[in-house]
Amino acid sequence: MTRVSVSDLRQNLPAFLKRVQAGEQLQITSRGQVIARIAPECDPAEEARQWLLDLRDRVSLGDVVHGLADLEWSGDADHL
């Protein structure tokens, strides 16, 4: 993500907007502190799809009912 000062953004707004249209995100700074972000508009359906694809890389799905069958239960089985 590119950092851009407020003064630089004012002087070169059309060029920065073209970069955002191309998919780049900008952090806007004032006195060295990030005060805002400019990002391309996203289609909500595409954003949700991308979120699910990212989640797929971090989550492992398995058989939640029978997946623990090999483990011995240590609780009181008579009171289940």
Domain region containing 41:
2-58
Q: What is the CATH number of the domain that holds 17?
A: 3.40.1620.10
Q: Is residue 64 part of a domain?
A: no
Assigned domain for 68 exists: no
Residue 78 falls within a domain, yes or no?
A: no
Number of separate domains in the chain: 1
Buried b (16+ CB within 10 A) or exposed e, 2-39: eebeeeebeeeeeebeebeeeeeebebbeeeeeeeebe
Where residue 68 falls among pLDDT bands split at 50, 70, 90? low
What confidence tens digit (pLDDT) does each residue in 24-59 have?
999 999 999 999 999 999 888 988 998 899 888 887
The pTM of the full predicted model, rounded to 2 decimals, is: 0.56
Residue 17 maps to a domain = yes
What is residue 45's predicted lDDT score, i.e. its pLDDT?
A: 92
Q: What is the pLDDT of residue 47?
A: 86
Is residue 15's pLDDT more than 80? yes
Q: Would residue 44 count as lying in a domain? A: yes
In a domain, 52, yes or no: yes
Give the model's pLDDT for residue 55: 87
